[in-house]
Chain A
Amino acid sequence: MSIDESTAARVAKLARIKVEPEALPALAQEFNTILGFIEQLGEVDIEGVEPMTSVTPQNLTRRADVVADGDQQAAILKNAPDAREGFFAVPKVVE
């Protein structure tokens, strides 16, 4: 499995990280080094083995279906880079 520049560009797009075209060859090379290392996992016999979902044998607990928190608009917006009139502001998404 070898990653080419177009795959690297696709992964960067999926991750929403801007990568300049001239940086793509080096990025693809790094991916290949790391994935080459990960390939060892192919040697392991995993027939009949369940993927781990929880490292400690526990069930997630449920709580009562009630409002437990809220009414903190100011606190929630406090750290926003751009907050206006009680909302998070972002560039226009609909024409």
Chain B
Amino acid sequence: MTDLNKLGLAEARDALRKGDTTSVELTTACLKAIEGAGALNAFVHQTPELALERAAAADARLKGSEEAPAMCGLPIGIKDLFCTKGVASQAASRILDGFKPEYESTVTQNLADAGAVMLGKLNMDEFAMGSSNETSAYGNAINPWRRKGEETPLTPGGSSGGSAAAVAADLCLAATGTDTGGSIRQPAAFTGTVGIKPTYGRCSRWGVVAFASSLDQAGPMTKSVRDAAIMLEAMASYDSKDSTSANLAVPNFEAALTGDMRGKKIGIPREYRMDGMPAEIAKLWEDGTAMLKDAGAEIVDISLPHTKYALPAYYVIAPAEASSNLARYDGVRYGQRATLDAGDGITEMYEKTRAEGFGPEVQRRVMVGTYVLSAGFYDAYYNRARRVRTLIKKDFDDVFAAGVDCILTPATPSAAFGLGEMTDADPIKMYLNDVFTVTVNLAGLPGITVPTGVDAQGLPLGLQLIGRPWEEGELLSSAYALERSAGFVAKPDKWW
């Protein structure tokens, strides 16, 4: 077989079962693709020896058993936010330069137990704070997609930008991502790939570098909805080491992919029709609605009245939690410590270490979080935002109680933008990238983005489906119907 790295998880799994290829061959093809893709800056720590070792073990396991898990032998990339034992895990931050964990995150352990082959660690925004992968200590990851006839480097989105770029460029069969405000779904939409953020509590957060603990969830980034179903099942588990992990059985998500929309009610939220929405996005949304209707779904107009307040609530809650979580980077237990001057005490050590180790966006969010939690402002900002969050969740509860199965929205306000294009804008402009995705994190719901079209410049655009809590199977099945109707098959032309 040729171009093994271009396969998806399901195709590769089936090829392995038939004996058409081996995990070592699949892994070698991906390693070669990674080697030739330095220009994308997607893989920032490569582990080829470890990968080939695991691939050989997977081949042995596949030979010995008919019952090997679906992910067995499949080469994937891991976002740098996941702690991987003995392998650099630095959350794309200078402050964790040189950090090699002595332990493995539950999600990557689950994948390893299933026989998946880790190819290396993927670029991202520093501590997952960003929407363009431009805050990374490793430098920008580059989107394999370009505007028609142009060479302007575009963002793959963020924060899981390296994951999205690697999957879109076929450097791996799939990758892990994490999503606090849209960090799986926005990059997936910017790269023509599929990304799902499961219900809060579905995937263990243990061993995933924490950004905002009440919002963070891990999920897969893949080439198809079927692949997302396969990989999510392998990543998810109940984990007593994460106190918010849900003690629920993980269903067979792939078996749920019927794509049957008959009798399903799809909600179209009027508040997502933002002022100034580009005509292309509005049309994409209308087309997607028509596709689900043609597939047999009933389309209903719904209202989520507090949508407008989701982004400001997020930019209180997420920085507040980040300021608390990132207090641990103090130059004492792990990572970097600043060089100190004679006479510097422990306070200078903290202050210099954190000033040198954190990039500007991380510093900004830690300080905003510190401010909204400080005496005198806690009620006015933090508690108010948490009360607004209750109302945002209630908006969704009410709609689901009225019988809506899934909600269809745009994934992003635009296609991928040029690297540096937002540099001079104020931070709020960048934050607006999350306008359609952030509500889902605040309400703890599962959300998936599926590529459904291209814009006038040939760049991919995606739609988002939002599901009921714990109903990822149902959500994936609706996404599967949308994927089949849209028939999105475009790939970026190889220039790297």
Contact = CB atoms under 8 A, between A and B. Distances in A.
Interface residues of B, number: 74
B252 interface: no
Query: Is the contact region of chain A dominated by helix, strand, or loop, or is it mixed?
Result: loop
Contact of A46 (B315, B332, B384): B384
B400 interface: no
Interface stretch (B10-18, B72-80, B365-373): B365-373
30 contacts: A12-B367, A14-B370, A16-B347, A16-B351, A16-B354, A17-B358, A31-B367, A33-B426, A33-B428, A38-B316, A39-B312, A41-B384, A42-B384, A44-B388, A46-B391, A51-B383, A54-B244, A56-B199, A56-B200, A56-B244, A56-B469, A60-B243, A61-B243, A75-B103, A79-B334, A80-B332, A81-B336, A90-B332, A91-B340, A91-B345
Contact of A44 (B246, B374, B391, B444): B391
A38 B314 CA distance: 9
Contacts of A55: 200, 214, 393, 442-444
Contacts of B431: 37
Nearest to A13: B351
A54 B312 CA distance: 19
A34 B335 CA distance: 30
A85 B387 CA distance: 49
A30 interface: yes
B349 to A, nearest CB: 6
A2 interface: no
Contacts of A38: 312, 315-316, 372, 381, 385
B427 to A, nearest CB: 6
Interface in A46-95: 46, 49-56, 58, 60-61, 63, 72, 75-76, 78-82, 88, 90-93
B437 interface: no
B100 A79 contact: yes
B102 interface: yes
B355 interface: yes
B306 interface: yes
Query: Is the contact region of chain B dominated by helix, strand, or loop, or is it mixed?
Result: helix
A93 B390 contact: no
B201 to A, nearest CB: 5
B32 interface: no
Nearest to B100: A79
Contacts of B102: 72, 75-76, 78-79
A56 B215 CA distance: 11
B368 A34 contact: yes
A79 B90 CA distance: 12
A54 B352 CA distance: 35
Contacts of B374: 11, 14
A11 B171 CA distance: 43
Nearest to B101: A79
A22 B455 CA distance: 44
Interface in B190-205: 199-201
